[in-house]
Amino acid sequence: MNVRNDLCLERLELLRNQMLQAAKRHGLNHPLVLTYSEQIDDIHNRLMRKDQSPLE
């Protein structure tokens, strides 16, 4: 794993914690919780695409 992936994983963990705190405070359907969830999905999808790209 490279530095960029490590930063993405750190960002994922930060967003996950923020999402959990927002969900506890506002409920699961609050727009802030959904925004965090979408950001997490975006980073996760980018990481998955990198893992599936052919080696050069």
Task: Answer yes or no: is 15 within a domain.
Answer: yes
Q: Is residue 53 part of a domain?
A: no
Residue 54 lies in a domain: no
Tokens of 55: 């080696």
Distance CA 9, CA 26 (A): 25
Residue 34 lies in a domain: yes
Residue 1 has pLDDT above 60, yes or no: no
6-19 residue pLDDT tens: 899 999 999 999 99
Q: What is the pLDDT of residues 22-35, one digit of tens each?
A: 999 999 999 999 99
Structural domains counted in the chain: 1
Residue 37 structure tokens = 């969830």
Closest CA to 32 of 15, 56, 8, 44: 15
Q: Is residue 38 part of a domain?
A: yes
Task: Give the structural domain span for 24.
Answer: 3-48
5 in Cβ contact with 37 (< 8 Å):
no
To the question of pTM greater than 0.85 for the whole model, the response is no
